[in-house]
Amino acid sequence: MSPEVILDRYIRSDMCHKRGCSGYVGKLDIDRVEPVSLRRLLRRVQSTMNEALGLEGPNASGGVQHDPLHFDYIDVTCGTENAHAFQHDGFAFITVTVPMVQSLWDLAGRLSRSTLVQQLLGLDTGTLQPESLRDLLFDIQLNFLVAHEYTHHVHRHNGVNDLWTAFFDDGEDGSLGLQAEELDADGYSLYLGVAYLLRGGGRPTALQQLGRTDVPGTSGDELLLTSFFLAVMAFFCSLWRGSIDMSRVYQFDHPPPPVRIKYAIQTAQMWAGQNESLPSSWFSGPRFRPLFRAAADVMGGTARQTWDAPMAFLRSSEGNRYDGQLFERFEAIRKKRDESASPADGDPA
């Protein structure tokens, strides 16, 4: 049976009853999507993702054996923005809802039109093509999201009832262990994304999209990594939906967005040190504060008005204790994986 049929039946009979999945009605029939421009975008993304997943080698997964991977879309009856990873009937599925794709597309568009973003990238506004910048930022965000869900499969995370979900209303049945798994998925996703963008096949295309094919060596690394973090920080900011009750932080399913951003920067710094890229001094607070401000500015609405309390908590002594305990769980996951992997597995330390 094809993965498309298996997925559709699973969504209709089982997944739609799980927490966070109300309104799920089956696998999306792309042929029925309107407008045509969105239909073409969805087809391009699906083809690219499944081609990449089909070519996955043992080094990418750290030698972990898993069911064949399949990327697809979930049809929903309401504007549910989400992504999931789960295994069912011989396949390892990575799925996103159409509202999730549309949200990232809109977010990338707003970033590409931001004067501050263009200034931080040092782009010539007279010759810049915002559509090309939008395409690059969208691809970075979606690749990060899909690679995050992919990591749940290959790092054998526990998840919630064997279903990993990108968005939850935090505070029900989470734990530090689940939050540490999410940080681990963020880290490996970032590691794969940065390697592809700075040292892999994504580099020439990305520089062309930025209109800077003339940028050499580490200067190109700086431009591409700045682009990467503008996209990923905006993605994390988009998760910050409404106020967060930090008194229940130990029961969250995912760490608060500022924590995920901090760990992402640390992972990128580690990658740069391993690959003779940018120096450690590049990864300083003054470097990233303008990037965060630019990412936050495109959010609009009243979302930023709810951020002061969580930020104050994370700077407090209790926030430091929380972060220290989370880091211990995160390190325990990495240590356990390292102990079970051979040196040739290719998984980052």
Contacts of 17 (CB under 8 A, 6+ apart): none
Task: Determine how β-strand 91-97 pairs with β-strand 163-165.
Answer: unpaired
Residue 243 is predicted with a pLDDT of 76
Residues 117-123: what's their mean pLDDT?
94
List, for residues 268-277, the tens digit of each pLDDT value: 999 999 999 9
Identify whether 348 is preceded by a cis peptide bond (ω within 30 of 0).
no
Residue 169 is predicted with a pLDDT of 56
More confident residue, 174 or 326: 326
With cut-offs at 50, 70 and 90, classify the pLDDT of residue 166: confident
Share of the chain above pLDDT 90, in %: 69
- Quote the CA–CA distance of 293 and 326 in Å, as a whole number: 26
Q: Which of the listed ranges 45-59, 170-184, 290-304, 315-329 does the model predict with the highest average pLDDT?
A: 315-329
Residue 246 has pLDDT above 80, yes or no: yes
| Token pair 């990495």: residue | 334
Residue 59 is predicted with a pLDDT of 61
Q: Is 268 exposed, middle or buried (0-12, 13-18, 19+ CB in 10 A)?
A: buried
Which of 39, 103, 68, 64 is closest to 345 using CA atoms?
64
Residue 30 is predicted with a pLDDT of 96
Q: Give the pTM.
A: 0.91
Half-sphere exposure of 135 (CA within 13 A, CB side): 15
Question: Where do the H-state alpha helices sit in 30-91?
Answer: 36-54
Half-sphere exposure of 184 (CA within 13 A, CB side): 31
